[in-house]
């Protein structure tokens, strides 16, 4: 690459989240960085896009080392707006996060952080999502920054296969206690919902979605298992949802 | 199955859309049907869930053959609320649609209709999403109903593999002109965005997301190709996003 890499940083916790500052600081060591992130928290937005209402882009100020923009949209909207309207050219790398909280297992499908990375890969741009296993606003991103740097170095060196982005989860441990990185499969684990039913001041019922996380997966090489053992998990994620192994079987039935 | 199947019908166009009426009518021939659908259009919501605000469930009235509920949430919220709060037991089948407009190709990832079906499969329930290649409110669902019936019959007879749901797209043709059904792969096609920039009455800029659909996929067995040739496309869809073929290659790099 003759030119300095152009790096887009986004997230789903919103442009003011400490996690996006941590990621921006790391990104600045690798190229020219522009931040385009939601103007409010967008956790759980999955791959949502805004097609039935309007979108706004707000130019903020330069902070640390990067120009910052916020948008009224979802994380996926941010990627689309950045690539098409904000950046002067297609970025060389998209970084999403660092998310305050886990995005391991098949729950990636709900994640705004990872959906931004997946959208990047759909547009042919090498993309990585980062998440720290601590959802506190005061989470310590020191170890996350060390490992974000390692992962970015590898992606810039080796590239990524077409149609694939990376999902990186970092255990909530001091850097000295993290055992290294492991390439894993998504664990087949999920949230079992328990809706917390309440009554509003007018006497009407409403719900909060809540639940408990249950891991059904006994395999050794899942992200959940690696994280529990103190490793950073790295999962290659694809946007092709075709269940290729089922195609042949179904053809006999249809 | 000794008991009559319990069938949940949902969609992303909202509880009042003609497409969900068409699907409900077909569903009633196969079991006891309950409709739980969004109270407003939720197209493009992907796999979004509502975790930062409250959810409401509204009991409506029985129409045709099914009790109807609407919710303030996304299509995925509807499935979670139906399974956990509305239905008396886990449903035997989830049907989503019939969507007003295509959900073919890798664009499934943006689709509220298909995300409801994917959520069903994550909860271990056989699930099918249906879409008609006509987004008009006045679309004619006659042929769609014929093919929805055929697909439901097959799924009740053969079942579906764990972790897999079906994405069924129906060409906008009279039933006599439809050539049959084809099991396909998702085409690697997508929308190339063009943001329509406008100025509001206060002089501030805003955007509408728009674009054109581009098919990059030359393979013979894609859903886009089948639909163009006059077939109903049936694609098995999975929620495991692990790029399994990349895992080994990445292990050599990390």
Distance, in Å, from the CA atom of B185 to the CA atom of B108, rounded to the nearest integer, reads 12
Does the residue A168 lie in any domain? yes
Q: How many CB pairs under 8 A join A and B?
A: 210
Between chains, do A164 and B243 touch, taking CB under 8 Å as contact?
Answer: yes
> Least CB-CB distance to B250: which of A55, A56, A183?
A183
- Helix-helix angle A142-158:A18-27, to 10 degrees: 40
B-chain CB neighbours of A184 within 8 Å are 247
Pick from A146-155, A157-166, B1-10, B101-110: least confident: B1-10
Total tally of structural domains belonging to chain B: 1
Question: Does residue B197 form part of some domain?
Answer: no
Range of the domain at B229: 6-187+220-239
Provide, for chain B, the percentages of residues in helix, strand and coil under a 3-state DSSP scheme, each rounded to the nearest 5. Answer: 30, 30, 40
Contact with chain A for residue B237, Cβ under 8 A: yes
Comparing alpha-carbon positions, the chain A residue that sits nearest to B48 is A45
Q: Is residue A193 part of a domain?
A: no
Residue A164 lies in a domain: yes
Specify whether the CB–CB gap between A76 and A37 falls below 8 A: no
ipTM for the complex shown:
0.94
Give the confidence band of B190 by pLDDT, cuts at 50, 70, 90.
confident
Q: Is residue A199 part of a domain?
A: no
The pTM score is 0.96
Q: How far apart are CA A148 and CA B61, in angstroms?
A: 53
User: Do residues A185 and B242 lie in contact, with contact meaning Cβ atoms separated by under 8 Å?
Assistant: yes
**Predicted pLDDT of residue B2:** 56
- Classified as helix, coil or strand, B225 is helix
In a domain, A236, yes or no: yes
> Using 50, 70 and 90 to split pLDDT, how confident is the model at B14?
very high
Q: pLDDT tens digits, residue range A178-212? A: 999 999 999 999 888 889 999 999 999 999 999 89
Residue B196, in any domain of the structure: no
Length of chain A: 254
**A206–chain B nearest CA distance, Å:** 5
The reply to whether omega before B98 is within 30° of 0 (cis) is: yes
Q: B189 in contact with A at a CB cutoff of 8 Å?
A: no
Q: Render pLDDT for A210-223 as a digit per residue (tens, 0 to 9).
A: 989 899 999 999 99
Q: Is B27 exposed, middle or buried (0-12, 13-18, 19+ CB in 10 A)?
A: buried
Q: The domain that contains A41 carries what CATH number?
A: 3.40.1210.10
For residue A116, pLDDT beyond 90: yes
Does residue B52 or residue A128 have the better pLDDT? A128
Best B122, B243, B248 member to test A by mutation, with max A CBs in 10 Å, is B243
Q: Are B45 and B27 in contact (CB under 8 A)?
A: no
Nearest-neighbour CA in chain B from A131: distance (Å): 17
Whether A210 maps to a domain, the answer reads: no
A2 falls in which pLDDT band (50, 70, 90)? low
């Amino acid at each position: 690459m003759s030119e300095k890499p152009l790096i887009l940083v986004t997230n789903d916790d919103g442009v003011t989240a400490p996690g996006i500052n941590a990621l921006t600081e790391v990104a600045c060591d690798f190229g020219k960085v522009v931040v385009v992130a939601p103007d409010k928290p967008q956790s759980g937005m999955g791959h949502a896009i805004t097609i039935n209402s309007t979108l706004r882009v707000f130019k903020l100020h330069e902070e640390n080392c990067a120009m910052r923009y916020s948008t009224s949209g979802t994380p996926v909207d941010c990627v689309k707006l950045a690539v098409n309207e904000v950046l002067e050219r297609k970025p060389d790398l998209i970084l999403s996060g660092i998310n305050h909280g886990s995005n391991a297992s098949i729950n990636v499908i709900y994640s705004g952080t990872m959906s931004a990375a997946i959208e990047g890969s759909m547009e042919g741009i090498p993309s990585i999502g980062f998440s720290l296993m601590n959802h506190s606003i005061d989470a310590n991103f020191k170890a996350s920054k060390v490992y974000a740097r390692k992962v970015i170095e590898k992606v810039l060196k080796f590239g990524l296969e077409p149609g694939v982005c990376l999902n990186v989860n970092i255990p909530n441990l001091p850097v000295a206690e993290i055992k290294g990185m492991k390439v894993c499969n998504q664990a087949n684990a999920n949230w079992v919902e328990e809706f917390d039913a309440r009554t509003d001041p007018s006497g009407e019922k409403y719900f909060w979605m809540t639940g408990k996380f249950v891991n059904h997966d006994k395999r050794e090489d899942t992200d959940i298992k690696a994280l529990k053992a103190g490793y950073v998990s790295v999962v290659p994620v694809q946007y092709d949802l075709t269940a290729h192994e089922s195609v042949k079987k179904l053809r006999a039935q249809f």
